[in-house]
Structure formats: C-alpha cells, structure tokens
C-alpha cells in the first residue's frame, strides 16, 4: 500500500498554530512528516531547536520524519541554518536547493530531493543514488508520462529509489529574491512586519476576469487552483509510486488526510476533500496539459 506524507508547511503560521497542527498530525494516518521552514528565513516563530524537538516527538509517535531545507538560499545566515540541519545524523534531509544537495553529500547524510529540484531523467537519479539519495519527488510540473518512464527506467537499472508525488494542495511554482507580500503592503523586504502571518493560506491573486490565478506567499508564488490527484491514486499504485504527498493547509487538513487514506485502502470516501475549502481544483500537469486545467 502506498504511503501518505505531509509536506513541510509552506505558509507562515504562529508558533502555537504549528505546535497544535503537529500534535494533531501525530494521530493522523500519515507515514512521513516533513518539518522545517522551506520558504523564507525571516520566518522565525520556530527556532532550529524547536524543529528538532518536534522531529523527535513525532518520531517517538511512530512517524518517519524528514527535515526540509529552504528552497532559495540567499545569505550566509541561510547557509549557516542549512549546515545546522545537515550537521545532524538523526533524520533524513529533504534537499530543495542545490546548496542543500552539496552540503548533504559532503556530510555523507541520506537525503531526498524535494519537488522543487530539477530531477527529469534516470541519469540524474543514478548519479545522486551513488551520493546518498534515498528517494525523490516528481517535480510538480511533470505528469504521469514522465513519471512512468522514470520508474521503469530505474527498475531497468536495478535501482530501488522510492518515488513521491505531490497530490494535494496549492502547487509551489516559483521563488524570487523579492517578497511579494511585503510589496503588496508597500513595505521593504527587510522590514516586512511579517505580514505573511496574516494570510495563513496565502494571498489570492485574481485576473481582471476574477479568475484565481495564483497564491502569493512571501517570496514564493503558488497555483491559484488546488492540485488534487485523489482520483488518480489507483493509477499511481499500478505505476509503482511509493508515497503520496499532501501539502498542509490551515483548516480541514484532518479530513483531507482521512479521505486520501480511505482511497489508498480501496474505500470510496463519502465526501470529497474539495468540498471542505473554497478553491477551484486542477490536475492538468498530471495529464501533460496546462496546470490550471481540470481533466475528467
């Protein structure tokens, strides 16, 4: 049976909200939990020691824990924080940036490539496998055709590298050295007043026709539609996907997790997770079409 994972929290939540979220997640039917700040180094509600303590607590609850790294490394302070994560040997690290990849390899610690890493072919995976790769995430813009080729190619090479697929949530699409949330409030990035915390699921960005195009989240831009591959789980299982990733949201996440758990067990859920929150669904990338489209 495929595993379920909770990706890192991409939004800026208060310290207590984060602790409450993971206290609940410890009871959910997820197998792996990713912890850490993956977006902006200015988000300091939790210190590195807090993340390590959370990781140990969740591990004690029977969860596999992976420590996530920032997707965009911009300063010496970011590098110091990255080295702190890669200086431990208790947990696997999720590399979301080439810097994290290099530090993890140099420190000889096991790592997973996140969905922001450009892993497009078997040759890349073969090279990384020799350097400590334990698993990989399909980049969000790729679909089932590429995924099927990669899984089959790995089998032909005799490599056992579990594949993980982002299957629920707003798709992280791009990162910038500019902070779009600060810009919205006419604030400089270095004095942003941490306005992201006022938007626990990001800021909607609509077109003139009122179509929800994107979600603004500090330095990152996410899809305006919510990616939902729940109906594609049986196909993923046949392809050999190891883990399904669900991206945390501020409300209703327990219901989403339980619905996906039912589907992976072969049970048709009574309600669809899309009814829990207001956002248009999409699955276009999975079918090789524009990401915002809904196929089927």
Q: CB–CB of 243/5 below 8 Å? A: yes
How far is residue 152's CA from residue 175's CA, in Å, rounded to a whole number?
Answer: 31
Q: Which residue has the tokens 């700040």?
A: 37
CA dihedral 57, 94, 72, 52 (to 10 degrees): 20
What six digits make up the tokens of 159?
């490599």
- Mind listing the pLDDT tens digit for each residue in 213-247? 899 999 999 999 999 999 999 999 999 999 999 99
DSSP letter for 138, please.
P
CB–CB of 2/30 below 8 Å? no
Alpha-helix runs per DSSP H in the chain: 15-25, 48-60, 76-86, 98-107, 122-129, 144-156, 180-184, 233-239, 253-264
Cα distance from N-terminal residue to C-terminal residue, the chain: 25
Output the pTM of the full model.
0.95
pLDDT value at position 272?
60
Mean pLDDT (the chain) is 93
**Rounded CA gap, 204 and 53, in Å?**
33
Predicted pLDDT at 269: 72
Kindly indicate the confidence band of residue 209, based on its pLDDT and cuts at 50, 70 and 90. Answer: confident
Q: What are 135's strand-pairing partners?
A: 112
| Structure tokens given for 253 | 């996440």
Query: In which residue are the tokens 């431990």 written?
Result: 88
Q: How far apart are CA 115 and CA 79, in angstroms?
A: 20
What is the pLDDT at residue 210?
Answer: 82
For the cut 60, the answer to whether the pLDDT of residue 274 exceeds it is no
Q: How many CA atoms lie within 13 A of 155 on its CB side?
A: 10
pLDDT given at position 273: 54
Q: Distance between CA atoms of 118 and 205, rounded to whole angstroms?
A: 26
Q: Which residues pair with 215 in a beta bridge?
A: 204, 222
pLDDT tens string 23-72: 999 999 999 999 999 999 899 899 999 999 999 999 999 999 999 999 99
Q: Per the annotation, does 196 bind a ligand?
A: yes
Q: What count of residues does the chain have?
A: 296
User: What is the residue whose two structure tokens read 């600060």?
Assistant: 182
Distances (CA, A) of 136 to 104, 125, 266, 270, 279: 14, 8, 25, 32, 28
282 is in an annotated binding site: no
Distance (Å, whole) CA 162 – CA 105:
19
Look at phi and psi of residue 206 and say left if phi exceeds 0, alpha if psi is from -120 to 50, else beta: beta
- Nearest Cα neighbor of 198 from 23, 43, 86, 50 is 43
């Amino acid at each position: 049976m495929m595993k379920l994972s909770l990706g890192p929290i991409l939004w800026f939540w208060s310290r207590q909200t984060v602790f409450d979220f993971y206290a609940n997640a410890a009871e959910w039917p997820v197998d792996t939990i990713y912890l850490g700040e993956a977006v902006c180094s200015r988000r300091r509600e939790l210190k590195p020691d807090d993340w390590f303590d959370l990781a140990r607590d969740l591990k004690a609850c029977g969860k596999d824990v992976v420590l996530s790294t920032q997707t965009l490394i911009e300063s010496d302070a970011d590098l110091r924080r990255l080295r702190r994560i890669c200086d431990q040997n208790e947990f696997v690290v999720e590399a979301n940036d080439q810097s994290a990849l290099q530090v993890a390899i140099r420190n000889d610690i096991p790592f997973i490539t996140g969905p922001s890493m450009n892993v497009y072919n078997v040759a890349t995976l073969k090279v990384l496998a020799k350097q400590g790769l334990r698993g990989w995430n399909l980049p969000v813009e790729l679909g089932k055709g590429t995924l099927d080729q990669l899984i089959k190619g790995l089998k032909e090479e005799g490599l056992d590298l579990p594949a993980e697929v982002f299957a629920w949530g707003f798709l992280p699409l791009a990162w910038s050295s500019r902070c779009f949330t600060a810009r919205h409030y006419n604030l400089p990035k270095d004095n942003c007043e941490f306005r992201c915390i006022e938007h626990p699921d990001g800021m909607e960005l609509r077109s003139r026709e009122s179509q929800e195009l994107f979600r603004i989240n500090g330095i990152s831009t996410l899809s305006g539609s919510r990616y939902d591959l729940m109906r594609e789980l049986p196909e993923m299982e046949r392809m050999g996907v190891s883990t399904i990733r669900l991206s945390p949201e501020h409300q209703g996440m327990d219901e989403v997790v339980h619905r996906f758990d039912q589907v992976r067990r072969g049970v048709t859920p009574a309600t669809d997770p899309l009814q829990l929150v207001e956002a248009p669904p999409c699955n276009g990338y999975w079918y090789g079409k524009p990401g915002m489209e809904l196929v089927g």
